[in-house]
Each structure stands twice: as C-alpha cells, then as structure tokens.
Amino acid sequence: MTSGGQMIVALDFDRSEPALDVVGQLGDLADTYKVGLELLTAAGPAVVSTLVEAGKKVFLDLKLYEIPHSVASAVRVCGDLGVSMVTVHGGAGSAVLSAAVDAARATPQLKVLALTVITSLDDAGLVEVGVPDGVQAQVTRLAGLATDAGCHGLVTSPREVRAMRALTPPHSLIVVPGATVPGDVQTRDHVRTGTVGGAIADGASHVIVGRGVTRAEDPSAAVEAALHAIGRT
C-alpha cells in the first residue's frame, strides 16, 4: 500500500484524457481512484481497464439502485473489470444488498459498499422525499441493513463517521465524500461536510478527495497536503 492508501482521488471529468493526466501527475502518491457516473458515461469501461492495468485500484461509484438480478449482474461485471470497490444504494433494501454481496463473492478483491444518504441531502431534503426521521436516523437504519446483508462497508458523510464506526464491525470500510482538503474551502454540492483529517480521526477508512486536488494548480502538492492532514506523511 502506498502512502495514499486511505485516500481516493475522484476523477470527475467528462473525458478520459484529463483524468488520466491527473493520474500520471500523481504517480505513487495515490493508488485508488474514483470513477463516477460522469467519467463512466463519457469514456465507458475502458477507462476503468486502463487504471487497473496501470496498477491502480478503482472505486466505481455507481450507486446501484435496481432490482436484485440487475444489481447482481452489474456487480459481477465490476468484478470482471478488476474493480476494487462498488457502491450500491442502501435505500434499495436488503434483497438488493444481499444480491450484490453474493455476486461479489466470485471476485474476492471486490468490496460492496452501501451508500447511506448522499451528502447533498440534509434533514429538510429527506422530508421532501418522504423520510421524516432525519439524516442520522436514516443513516443508522441503512447501515444496519448493510451490515446484516454482509456489505463490506458504507459510504457516508464526515458528520456520521464516528457513530457509524461505533455501530459497524471493526473491519468495515467507511468511505467518506464531502471532506475538504487543506487550502480548499469549497464544499460545492455537499451540505454535510467536514475535513479529511477529521474524518480519518473519527474512524473513516478512506476519504474521497475531488476537485480540491484535481483542479488544484499543483495536484501533487494538494495531495501531499491532504496526506499530511490525515497523518500519512
């Protein structure tokens, strides 16, 4: 594992060329990259294969929310591509989460992570979609479903990390988007935010860093500052 093993760099680009340019600039500073809907739609699975062939781990952020058969089929394809982590929406329910976990068994390197509540939602946003209990209660509810289904971990905001670490098994992955890196105060679409250092201190296994690194004037310096903030340098 490189020094950046707890950090996932989000390649939020609409073309593969600038994304792979960032990967080249960062070199051994980062070993895990997030491919989300934007880049996957633009470049297709070829960009995932390119990263895997370069020795990088891929966090494929699909937020799968479909019937169990469709989700299981997608997870099997992720395994065949060499993906290391894939997200399934916890709100899809126990049957979907269990189907994803079962499908991942064929490729032991593939970890299924249950997305709890996206970081752009707050209590009022959940009420709007018919969930009146608030973020903390919903995150706790979905984390319980994910744990019972055998998911390898969760995706949740910096604000819920400490509670989730206490709730989930010690080996569970807790992956955190919406955390800022030193020098970047913009949270953009995230409303439940924190810092990368705070998330790791609270028990996160990984933090996702995005435009604060990839759009920085010097991405390598931005990653090094973030690694220092999480105590890895």
Residue 25's Cβ-count burial label (10 Å; 0-12, 13-18, 19+) is middle
DSSP sequence for 183-207: T----TT-SS-EEHHHHHHHT-SEE
Rounded Cα distance between 177 and 199, Å, is 10
Rounded to 5°, angle at Cα 62 from 113 and 52? 85
Among 34, 56, 57, 63, the one annotated catalytic:
63
Closest to 28 in 3D by CA, of 53, 58, 54:
54
56 is catalytic: no
End-to-end CA distance of the chain: 14
Q: What is the DSSP string of 1-70?
A: --TTTTEEEE---SSHHHHHHHHHHHGGG--EEEE-HHHHHHHTTHHHHHHHHTT-EEEEEEEE-S-HHH
Catalytic residues: 63
